[in-house]
Structure 1
Amino acid sequence: MTDTVSAASAHRPGVTAGVSPQDGDVPAPVRMYEMLYSSLVSQLLIAVAELGVADALGDEVRHIDDLAERTGAHPGALYRALRALASVGVFTEVEPRTFGLTPLAATLRGDVPGSMRDLAKYVGLSERQRSFGALVHSLRTGQPSFDHVHGTDWWTYFAAHPELSTLFNNAMGNMARMVNGATLDAYDLTDVKHLIDVGGGQGHLVATLLARYPEMTAVVYDLARVVPEAAATVAKAGFADRVQCVGGDFLKSVPAGGDAYVLSWTIHDWADKDAITILSNVREQMKPGSKLIIIDEVLPEGDAPHFGKFEDIVMLSLLTGHVRTEAEFITLFEKAGLKHLETRPTSSPTSVIVAVPA
């Protein structure tokens, strides 16, 4: 995500919302005009991800006619889309009407490390888009616009639409792979012999950790419907003999016996009351010497830019949770019988927040 912002600002400040807010050369009305239209960048990225344009290009450069035929697109329309994206560093027009990938565009391939294609498709879900279109409801009421638009809450809706749940988990897998490397570089887990990943999704974090720490065993704990996907992930990684994939509800209980408990990109989904319940359930199972490791965004105070400040608006629209400051995490810990030990930034938008029994 940092690369996206850097590429955009290198071409023209203000093309994407939140990019290079200090630029005296651009009048405020012009900047506002550009920011109002910046959502088109996201919509174009979603559209080309859906078409598989980056996969069709691969390591080659292709004329727009060839590319349109490979993706089932209209040549003229596709050219206009790629020309626009190339202006912000996504794709490059190497010759007239002939395009290749840039490092940013390569992340939209489905077959590369660091792929963001599933995430782009998830961001483009009509259910999400309609909710963001009704964001004024959230601003007026403090309640999720998703519930207002769809007549039910996010989790109930996804439970009734398993195809969307799978896409969501795939997208979170994209995010996990982006965050995992940064987390591993920022925090050493050599002393952890048995780890429990609470809300572990498809098991990507555990698979990454076990590759780094050959003596570690783990539990991936998530809803029962997610367990088969997690089992497939750890088996494909070659760690089936070192991982248990367990179904359950962390609002009710979590497994016992962990040297470390991990909550990765999970707590921000939940309102304080539920977050305290989850943390309390973890605290109940922690033994002397256990630690809790939260991998999540930690918001800076004041006007300082941070991706999490916009992720927090996603929470406002879709869920009841919110992205928290360090002080807010500390308050949650105290109410759950935990003590904040440290907060360690990473090279990704997330930090590692560590707590121990109080």
Structure 2
Amino acid sequence: MTDTTALPPQAQMMQFLTAKWVSPTLGVLAELGVADALADGPRTADDLAKQVKAHPRSLYRLLRAAASVGVFAEDDGGRFALTPLADCLRSDVPGSMRGAVRLFNAEPMWAPYGRLMHSALTGEPAFDDLYGMDIYAYLAQNPAVEKVFLDTTVEFYASAAPAIAAAYDFGRFGTVMDLGGGVGYLLASILERSPSARGILFERPSVLAQAEPVVADRGLEARIELLEGDFFASVPATADAYVIKSCVHNFRDDQALALLRVIRRATRPDTPLLIVDAVVPPGNGPHYSKFDDVEMLAVAGGIDRTEQEWRELVTAGGFELRQIVECTPMAYLLEAWPVS
């Protein structure tokens, strides 16, 4: 790909503007399952179109565009093949990002950007202005989109879980409760590294139903308790450490503060809260969290926070932030201990 810093400013700006063309192109190819159809070897667009039920010439044009940025590759015979980037679009490989590509290009996720000015002027999510409800109410009413959302969450949890479990000593706690822990990938990874620990997965009933096979597949049925609940209402005071991953950034400050105070009521002086989330770095350098924060602004209504903003939030919630551990470039563990 072109090194944009070597281009004139106008050319760099044009590359930024045309970046919007790439994501929906990949989204269509992911939705059609083209990468899966190429798993057995190169094929022409005409051949692929028959399998994925697409218009042949249109599919060729999408594939050619994707190949120009390294996703797929076309040979002299007009056949397209997988590349390492295209492998990310397969549904049957470790580290698959097909769900994420589909979610990022689902209409409810990109349409709010047409009203981003609303968020800039009001501080309110463009999503709510567009659909008349927040993202969570929308997902509850649209099961097909919710499934893609949950599948993407599972992908992110599964890929990051081992690194998070390895980055911190969870083994010193007898019982670890994962609040809003999805289908249990992170909690399972923690327990696999801490054989004497037990876990509690605290989630909504619909999510716990999907967690059961994950827990069973990892052979952890005897060590993980599945517990229904709403962490905005109450949290059981039955753990030696509480983990909450990729949740707090979904909420604006007043909501996040209310959540931390609910958790604080459940903690003892020797019971930490371990927040796994993004931390926005200082300076002008590029970082995932800086545009994820715009996503929070436009769609979810939440905030990706700097270290100072995290410190202020956890202090107001009744905790002291003692350390921040980088687990992955996108996930940091914030160790917060209760204070009187």
TM-score class, shorter: over 0.9
Q: Note if contact 1:291-1:354 (Cα within 8 Å) is conserved in structure 2.
A: yes
Correspondence 1:221 to 2:211: no
Moved more, 288-297 or 328-337: 288-297
Correspondence 1:58 to 2:39: yes
Specify the alignment match of 2:268 in structure 1: 287
Distance (Å, rounded) in 2 between the aligned partners of 1:238 and 1:58:
31
1:255-274 equivalences in 2 (<5 Å): 255-274=236-255
Moved more, 213-222 or 146-155: 213-222
| Amino acid in the other structure paired with 1:89 | G
1:201-220 equivalences in 2 (<5 Å): 201-220=182-201
3-state SS of paired residue (1:262): strand
Distance 1:155 1:347, change over 3 A: closer
Spell out, residue by residue over 1:131-188, the C-alpha distance to the aligned partner (whole angstroms, 9 max, x if none). 1221111112111111111111112222222332222111111111222133233223
Deviating runs (4+, > 3 A) in structure 1? none
Distance (Å, rounded) in 1 between the aligned partners of 2:185 and 2:130:
32
Q: CA RMSD in A?
A: 1.7
Correspondence 1:99 to 2:80: yes
Specify the alignment match of 1:113 in structure 2: 94
Correspondence 1:180 to 2:161: yes
User: Gapped runs of 5+ residues in structure 2?
Assistant: none
3-state SS of paired residue (2:227): strand
User: Gapped runs of 5+ residues in structure 1?
Assistant: 1-10, 15-22
Distance (Å, rounded) in 2 between the aligned partners of 1:284 and 1:63:
61
Q: Note if contact 2:166-2:193 (Cα within 8 Å) is conserved in structure 1.
A: no
Distance (Å, rounded) in 1 between the aligned partners of 2:245 and 2:46:
43
3-state SS of paired residue (1:37): helix
Specify the alignment match of 1:137 in structure 2: 118
Specify the alignment match of 1:146 in structure 2: 127
Distance (Å, rounded) in 1 between the aligned partners of 2:93 and 2:217:
16
Following superposition, the deviation at residue 63 of structure 1 comes to 2.6
Distance (Å, rounded) in 2 between the aligned partners of 1:82 and 1:210:
43
Give the alignment's TM-score, normalised by structure 2. 0.94
| Amino acid in the other structure paired with 2:239 | G
Distance (Å, rounded) in 1 between the aligned partners of 2:62 and 2:2:
17
Distance (Å, rounded) in 2 between the aligned partners of 1:337 and 1:347:
27
Paired residue for 1:77, among 58, 61, 64? 58
Distance (Å, rounded) in 2 between the aligned partners of 1:185 and 1:227:
25
Spell out, residue by residue over 1:280-331, the C-alpha distance to the aligned partner (whole angstroms, 9 max, x if none). 2222212342221111110012312110111111110112210000111111
3-state SS of paired residue (2:172): coil
Q: Note if contact 1:86-1:93 (Cα within 8 Å) is conserved in structure 2.
A: yes
Moved more, 345-354 or 195-204: 345-354
3-state SS of paired residue (2:91): coil
Correspondence 1:245 to 2:226: yes
Specify the alignment match of 1:18 in structure 2: none
Distance (Å, rounded) in 2 between the aligned partners of 1:243 and 1:191:
17
| Amino acid in the other structure paired with 2:3 | P
Following superposition, the deviation at residue 209 of structure 1 comes to 2.3
Q: Note if contact 2:162-2:186 (Cα within 8 Å) is conserved in structure 1.
A: no
Distance (Å, rounded) in 2 between the aligned partners of 1:241 and 1:166:
28
Moved more, 330-339 or 201-210: 201-210
Q: Number of matched residues?
A: 339
| Amino acid in the other structure paired with 2:232 | L
Following superposition, the deviation at residue 57 of structure 1 comes to 1.0
| Amino acid in the other structure paired with 2:35 | A
Give the alignment's TM-score, normalised by structure 1. 0.90
Q: Taking every aligned residue pair, what percent have the same amino acid on both sides? A: 37
| Amino acid in the other structure paired with 1:79 | Y
Spell out, residue by residue over 1:174-212, the C-alpha distance to the aligned partner (whole angstroms, 9 max, x if none). 111222133233223221331111111222212222333
3-state SS of paired residue (2:222): helix
Following superposition, the deviation at residue 59 of structure 1 comes to 4.7
| Amino acid in the other structure paired with 1:83 | R
Correspondence 1:170 to 2:151: yes
Specify the alignment match of 2:3 in structure 1: 13
